[in-house]
Amino acid sequence: MATPITKRGLLAALAFLIAVGASLLPTSSNAARVLDAERRAGLVGDTASGYMAAVGAVSPEVQRQIDEVNLKRRELYRDTARKTNSTLEAVEAIFGQQLFDRTPSGEYFRKADGSWVKKP
């Protein structure tokens, strides 16, 4: 079992995510550019747990792209948790907050309780 995250570990994880995490945000690849259109259409959004999800039904290709982005994010989160002696859940929550902060007005975000909100 991982050691509970300390304030210092939390800050280190956040600094690492800010420095490295931008490369995995949805503007970094061709697949992400396709997903940007899905985001603007309200079909795809980020979640409080730091992952991307379909708001409703999406095509198999869009779901494949969501899965691809999430695999890369999970890899980053696991690496960050290991390097900062944090839990995966703590790192996911930090990145989820960062994603929420970066979500543009009019796009959807899934809160920790599972409900989708359209960012004002």
Examine residue 88 and state whether it is found in any structural domain, yes or no. yes
Examine residue 62 and state whether it is found in any structural domain, yes or no. yes
- What is the DSSP secondary-structure string of 52-87? EEESS---HHHHHHHHHHHHHHHHHHHHHHHHHT--
Examine residue 11 and state whether it is found in any structural domain, yes or no. no
How confident is the model at residue 33, as a pLDDT?
65
How confident is the model at residue 91, as a pLDDT?
94
Averaged pLDDT in 10-residue chunks for the chain of 120 residues: 62 62 50 79 96 96 95 94 93 93 95 96
Owning domain of residue 95: 27-109
How confident is the model at residue 27, as a pLDDT?
44
How confident is the model at residue 34, as a pLDDT?
63
- Distance, C-alpha 2 to centroid of its chain: 21
Examine residue 6 and state whether it is found in any structural domain, yes or no. no
Cβ atoms of residues 5 and 88 within 8 Å: no
Q: What's the domain count of the chain?
A: 1
Beta bridge partners of 109: 46, 117
How confident is the model at residue 78, as a pLDDT?
95
User: Tokens standing for 37?
Assistant: 């259109």
Cβ atoms of residues 110 and 46 within 8 Å: yes
Q: Fill in the DSSP letter of residue 108.
A: E
